[in-house]
Amino acid sequence: MKIECVKITYKSTSFSTEKCTLGIVDESIRALTDSNDPAVYLFANDQLEELRQFDHLIVDRKQKNVHKGLAEYFLKQTTDKIQLLATTYSTAKKMFSGLRPLFKRIETYKGKSIFFMGVDQEVFQAVLRDAAMTPVEEFRPAHREDRTCIVEAKHEQAFGEREYGLLTYLERRYRETPDRTNAVKEHYVGNSRAVRITRMMTLAAADADVPVLIIGDTGTGKEVVARQIHEQSQRKNELFQPVNCGSIPRELLELELFGCEADALQKGYPLKQGLWEKTGHGTLFLDEIGDMSLDHQVRILRALGEGTIRRVGGTKDITVHARVLAATNRNLFSMVQAKTFREDLYYRLRGFFIRTPTLRNHPEDIPAIAQHLWQKITEKPQACLSPEILAGLGRYSWPGNVRELKMVLTNLYALFQSKDPTPSNLQEIFHLEGQVNVATDCTQEVSLDEMQIQRAHCLRHLNRTYEVFHACRHKLHAQMDGEEEPRTSTASLRDSLNFLHHEVEQLCAQPLYFHKNSVFSAVYDFKGKIVYLRSLLQRDQQDAIAYIASDMTGAIDNILALVFQEIEAVMAEG
């Protein structure tokens, strides 16, 4: 007899779930009693009867009362046996909310901290399906009325504090190719989760061979990511061709990209091959794509859609094979809403989406990045900055991100290279650049300015949520309408769902910024629909499309309506 279960553990702020099977049941239970690591093993309630017969190893706590917490059953009496309890949680989210206080009190418990818990079959299957995407983030509801949350929000990691699911999946996926992982790490430095997820997404984008849109503030390494996508892809031996769409005059951009036929502009003008054509089977990197005019956007869209270009003055189409990567520091989705960027081009470029984190949102990486830059600037592989210098760098907010950090260190070396730089030298550089090194004190009372900052964070987060779900609706409608080729649509939807799950996880990592708990709950619940849709897609594509029509589109429309209401509410408060 074999019994399927899910092992649940808890560390720091996250749950980890792992699929398990009890083979020879009594021997498996005996083996578990030898373990000292706290864990809850989850079963379907209808499996508990088979476990209760091993009463020499198990203490049966019967049925949980809905008004009592799990700790009141499991931690009240000390025993060396495994305790078993049946529950009636209606959703996986409520179950995890009930488990959290139990795990937080386990450290003081003197008995055996291995527990068996039963749930309804539907909840068990939901957790079992999601067990591969581990760990599961801790549920933390937002309370609009609690103004202390404004101070707490300062301590929220702004880029993927709890992105364990996708990060774990990708790190396992690329564990067998450490050379590729290390190659990207050499160029995109840091150990925070924000940086690690960007590196893993870079590798995944390299393998996908679809258009990639990279969005991030100035100086966050968008071109570094683009170059690494190329270097780690099958096109690495071909040309990487960067084009700065913002620096080339508007009247010359078309000429540079698409080329020109002989005598097209004036008699005697030679034939000019455009950069897109020159790139061949390599990678064309369109930097600052948000600065491109609407006329040029039409030409780019046509080239992406048809795989052909036409030179200025030409009459025949030329097939192009280059992969296109695009980057911008502008909010393209807002530009789409304002009709200054084509919606169809936005979604065409957004085949794969990467957001590069701002340096202020992963300050723990400043020492590693600074040491890396310092060694390159000094051309001395062993060069090290003093702890005092690193501490001084860590107190600055870096609005210009890594690019600004590099500029400060370059100036520091240029002016004080004859000796080891000191904190006073660093302060002089800050003053020369007109910068102020200010450390913020999070223990102060919440001011009016801080409340305005909180509203700004809410507005930005809600706009980001609206963008993600608007893109999701566009993708799912395209799937239902059969706009994609049948042979590629399933794989395309599967990849889209994986990264949609990542984006929704990223949004849920900041519950305080949803303004209302109802909005957070709607977005959080949508993750479960994504997981279920992925499981349907593995079995039958038609069932998946039917589920999209019956459940997904309505849920998306509801979320978009809620988010729009909250955007209006936040703007009214300001």
**Which three-class secondary structure state does DSSP give residue 571?**
helix
Looking at residue 552, the DSSP 8-state letter turns out to be: I
Looking at residue 233, its pLDDT comes to 94
User: Would the pLDDT of 495 be above 50?
Assistant: yes
The answer to whether residue 471 scores a pLDDT higher than 50 is yes
pLDDT the model gives residue 309: 93
SS3 call for 513: helix
Using the predicted structure, report yes or no on whether residue 161 has a pLDDT greater than 60: no
pLDDT at residue 157 in the model: 35
Give pLDDT tens digits for 254-299: 899 999 998 877 777 788 899 999 999 999 999 999 989 998 999 9
Q: What is the CATH number of domain 365-432?
A: 1.10.8.60
- Which of 149, 217, 157, 219 is closest to 453 using CA atoms? 149
Hey, where are the domains in the chain? 3-136, 178-263+270-357, 365-432, 446-574
pLDDT at 249 over 60: yes
Distance CA 329, CA 319 (A): 30
Structure tokens at 186: 């050499």
Residue position matching structure tokens 């002089």: 428
Structure confidence by residue, pLDDT tens digits, 340-351: 899 999 989 988
pLDDT tens for residues 130-140?
A: 774 433 333 33
Q: What is the pLDDT of residue 15?
A: 81
What is the reported pLDDT for 433?
Answer: 60
What is the pLDDT at residue 262? Answer: 87
Q: Are 346 and 300 in contact (CB under 8 A)?
A: no
- Residue 86, beta-bridge partner list: 63, 118
Residue 158: per-residue pLDDT = 35
Is pLDDT of 43 > 80?
yes
In sequence order, the 6+-apart residues with CB closer than 8 A to the CB of 104 are: 10
Instruction: Give dist(CA 70, CA 454) in Å, integer.
Output: 35
pLDDT of res. 381: 86
Cα distance between residue 427 and residue 425, in whole Å: 5
For 178-263+270-357, the fitting CATH number among 3.90.660.10, 3.40.50.300, 3.20.20.70, 3.30.70.20 is 3.40.50.300
Q: Residue 158 phi/psi, 5° resolution?
A: -80, -10
What's the CA gap between 152 and 147, in Å, rounded?
Answer: 9
Report the range of poorest mean pLDDT among 94-98, 172-176, 318-322, 510-514.
510-514
- Please list the residues that pair with 44 across neighbouring strands: 119
Q: What confidence score (pLDDT) does residue 34 get?
A: 67
Identity of the residue numbered 531: V
Judged against a pLDDT cut of 50, whether residue 148 lies above it is answered with no
323, HSE (Cβ side, Cα atoms, 13 Å): 26
Instruction: Provide the pLDDT confidence category of residue 96 given band limits of 50, 70 and 90.
Output: confident
Please tell me the predicted confidence (pLDDT) of residue 450: 55
The structure tokens listed for 290 are: 């948000």
* Number of residues in the chain: 574
What is residue 421's predicted lDDT score, i.e. its pLDDT? 85
Mean pLDDT across 287-313: 92
| Separation CA 101–CA 234 (nearest Å) | 48
36, two tokens: 């000292």
The pLDDT score that the predictor gives to residue 23 is 67
Q: Is the separation of the CB atoms in 167 and 203 below 8 Å?
A: no
CB 291 within 8 A of CB 239: no
Query: In percent, how much of the chain has pLDDT > 90?
Result: 27
DSSP-assigned states of every residue in 320-381: ---EEEEEESS-HHHHHHTTSS-HHHHHHHTTEEEEPPPGGG-GGGHHHHHHHHHHHHHT-T
Cβ–Cβ < 8 Å for 406, 370: no
Cβ–Cβ < 8 Å for 556, 476: yes
Task: Note whether 514 and 83 are within 8 A (CB).
Answer: no
- Tell me how far apart the alpha carbons of residues 28 and 438 are, in angstroms, rounded to a whole number: 58
Residues 327, 329: Cα–Cα separation, whole Å: 7
- Mean pLDDT, range 87-94, rounded to an integer: 85
Contact 283, 229 (CB under 8 A): yes
pLDDT, position 24: 66
pLDDT confidence of residue 10:
85
pLDDT confidence tier of residue 121, bands split at 50, 70 and 90: confident
Instruction: Tell which wins on pLDDT, 349 or 333.
Output: 349
| pLDDT digits 0-9 by tens, 527-548 | 878 877 877 887 777 888 888 8
Q: Burial level of 483, CB count in 10 A (0-12/13-18/19+)?
A: exposed
* pLDDT for the residue numbered 144: 34
Average pLDDT (66-73) is 84
Cis peptide upstream of residue 135 (ω within 30 degrees of 0): yes
Q: Between 85 and 165, where is the model more confident?
A: 85
Share of the chain above pLDDT 70, in %: 85
Higher pLDDT, 432 or 196: 196
Lowest average pLDDT, out of 135-139, 235-239, 332-336, goes to 135-139
| Closest alpha carbon to 527 in 151, 178, 133, 143 | 133
Residue at 492: amino acid letter: S
Give CA torsion, residues 402, 404, 410, 416, to 10 deg: -120
Cα–Cα distance, 398 to 401 (Å, whole number)? 5
CA–CA distances in Å: residue 553 to residues 146, 358, 538:
33, 33, 20
* Cα distance between residue 84 and residue 74, in whole Å: 8
Enumerate long-range contacts of 477-483, CB under 8 Å, 24 or more apart.
Answer: 477/553, 479/545, 479/548, 480/545, 480/548, 480/549, 480/553
| pLDDT tens-digit readout, 442-469 | 333 445 555 676 678 788 888 888 888 9
pTM: 0.57
Kindly list the strands in the beta sheet with 114-119, ordered across the sheet, starting from the edge strand earlier in the chain. 58-63, 82-86, 114-119, 39-44, 3-11, 14-22, 136-137
